[in-house]
Structure 1
Amino acid sequence: MTESANRSPAHAGSITGPEAMFTEPEDLVTTGVSLSNGRYSIGEQLGSGGSANVYRARDELLSRPVAVKLFRDEAATANDRLRQEREIRLLGELRHPGLVELYDSGSVLHRGVEHRYLVMEYIPGATLTDRLQDGPMLPRDAAALGAQVADALSFIHTRSIVHRDVKPDNILFSDIAAFGHANLVKLSDFGIAHFVGGSRLTNTEAISGTASYLSPEQALGETVGTETDIYSLGLVLLEAITGRREFDGGIVESAVARLHRDPVIPPELPAAWHPLLRSMTARKAENRPAAHEVASSLREIWADSRVRRVRRVRARLGVVAAEGVAPRIALLLAAATAAAGLAIGLAVGILAF
């Protein structure tokens, strides 16, 4: 299980001492607990994984919300400490709009044992998992999301880093609008990331990752490269568009399925999606495109969908023009009609209230 820094508990209780930060229950809130001589005030627990808990917190010095990832007792050996330090140094070197940023790190004593913690950017928006609770995304919206995630993957891949756990829970929607997007998308949780040709950064099982999004090489327990993130992103995009997981079920059932068949790509998808998704989810890693190629293709799909939308609007206005109304006037009429509709809607809402 990986840590999610943006999932609030359903119910909140009360904790009076620092010991509460090392407990397993998720439906708890820490009060009166602080780190770094009072700089970080700890709030509710946001998530829990195999090696750490994640809390919402506040940086009292800079007056901003943050997320704190606190490693628990399981990570107490010399090798585990080394992996923690490597993860901290890795995250400290990564600066990209599509990655959750590391602000600070430190240590806290608990029962005579020193525990490391990370202070990270807090993303108040929903995860892709949350977003899909409302149903599938439009293909153009999935393309916009996928392009941003592929950009972030390209950034880490050029530094020989494999994320190994690309999934909807680790894709966060921020409240920042930039680069033509209403919401910047952030890739989170490098808990099981590793260097290409290097050792793992954190403790993990023999098969690392989440069952539904494993690449074939992950499912076989083989050495993985950057191509494994591309396969996982392909499955994420397919789920975003269809609203269902392509390979569901337990790890064995899910692993066997992807080793014997390719994902089913909906025939009704725009033509450009088919070769892209087929190549991203190719069973042989060497047949998959690089992350920057995926980002470029998705951006073209996104741009093309916007052009088609403009053409449809112009076509509708053209019908009005053909009936004797100039396009410019037709555009003003369309705007006036929209404004009138909004006014009527507000009036009905007020009366209903």
Structure 2
Amino acid sequence: ERLDRYAPGGYHPVVLGDTFCDGRYTIRHKLGHGGFSTVWLARDNREEIWVSIKIRQARVSTAQLDDDPELKVLGQLEQHYLDTHSKKARCYAEPRDSFQHTGPNGTHNCLVSELLGPTLGAVLHCLNHIDIRETLRPDTILRASNQLLEAVEFIHQAGIAHGG
């Protein structure tokens, strides 16, 4: 991410070993970043599990945590999942906690979720260095494609659409 975004209204500066929520979460590794947030591997010291924490830029963080649009969508997905009594695995990162953190660049909405594997983009980047035809069998590609289609169907059933 661009360093000039570590300014008032921008990203929160995080150092490995930093703690959040009165010591509940300890930052261990950076997982990635996007246009509006950074994502960190953290240890939940209370539950003794690994989680990811997305720290949104202050300028896109809402004054009230309940007004955060991403948190609302995750809540909508979770409610739909619980309402349908689905026996399938979630097709999204299960939300675990949320909080606000005030730092030198402002107040940031922080979303805690279960830790998942690498993004599809990261996997494809790794596979770019090898012959994909020798690595991914057709049944693996079909299974992954089916999971993606099921996820899109689930999201649409929950009343959520992505467009631009």
Query: 1:86, CA displacement in angstroms?
Result: 2.3
Equivalences for residues 143-154 of structure 1 within 5 A: 143-154=142-153
Contact 2:62–2:68 (8 Å) recurs in 1: no
1:110 is aligned, of 103, 110, 124, to: 103
In the alignment, what sits opposite 2:68? 85
In the alignment, what sits opposite 2:127? 132
1:22 is aligned, of 9, 12, 33, to: 12
Find the aligned partners of 2:32 and 2:94 in 1 and give their Cα distance.
18
Moved more, 100-109 or 87-96: 87-96
Contact 2:62–2:109 (8 Å) recurs in 1: no
Contact 2:12–2:108 (8 Å) recurs in 1: no
Aligned partner letter, 2:29: E
Find the aligned partners of 2:106 and 2:16 in 1 and give their Cα distance.
22
Find the aligned partners of 1:83 and 1:89 in 2 and give their Cα distance.
7
1:302-346 deviation digits (Å, cap 9, x = unpaired):
xxxxxxxxxxxxxxxxxxxxxxxxxxxxxxxxxxxxxxxxxxxxx
Find the aligned partners of 1:61 and 1:46 in 2 and give their Cα distance.
21
1:178-204 deviation digits (Å, cap 9, x = unpaired):
xxxxxxxxxxxxxxxxxxxxxxxxxxx
Query: 1:67, CA displacement in angstroms?
Result: 0.5
Gap change, CA 1:34 and 1:82, over 3 Å in 2:
closer
Unpaired stretches in structure 1, ≥5 consecutive residues: 2-20, 24-28, 165-207, 209-353
Find the aligned partners of 1:34 and 1:57 in 2 and give their Cα distance.
9
Find the aligned partners of 1:112 and 1:93 in 2 and give their Cα distance.
30
Structure (1/2) with the larger helix percentage? 1
Moved over 4 A (4+): 81-84
Find the aligned partners of 1:145 and 1:83 in 2 and give their Cα distance.
34
Unpaired stretches in structure 2, ≥5 consecutive residues: 2-10, 79-88
- Secondary structure of 1:145's aligned partner: helix
Equivalences for residues 1-353 of structure 1 within 5 A: 22-23=12-13, 30-75=15-60, 85-95=68-78, 97-111=90-104, 113-125=106-118, 127=120, 128-130=123-125, 132-133=127-128, 134=130, 135-136=132-133, 137-163=136-162, 208=164
Q: TM-score, normalised by structure 2?
A: 0.71
Q: CA RMSD in A?
A: 2.8
Gap change, CA 1:142 and 1:163, over 3 Å in 2:
farther
Find the aligned partners of 2:66 and 2:160 in 1 and give their Cα distance.
14
Contact 1:70–1:115 (8 Å) recurs in 2: yes
Contact 1:34–1:40 (8 Å) recurs in 2: yes
Aligned partner letter, 1:157: H
- Secondary structure of 1:90's aligned partner: helix
Find the aligned partners of 2:91 and 2:149 in 1 and give their Cα distance.
9
Aligned partner letter, 2:35: G
Calculate percent identity across the aligned residue pairs.
28
Which structure has more RCO (C-alpha within 8 Å, separation ≥ 6)? 2
Query: 1:140, CA displacement in angstroms?
Result: 2.1
Higher gyration radius (CA): 1
- Secondary structure of 1:155's aligned partner: helix
Structure (1/2) with the larger strand percentage? 2
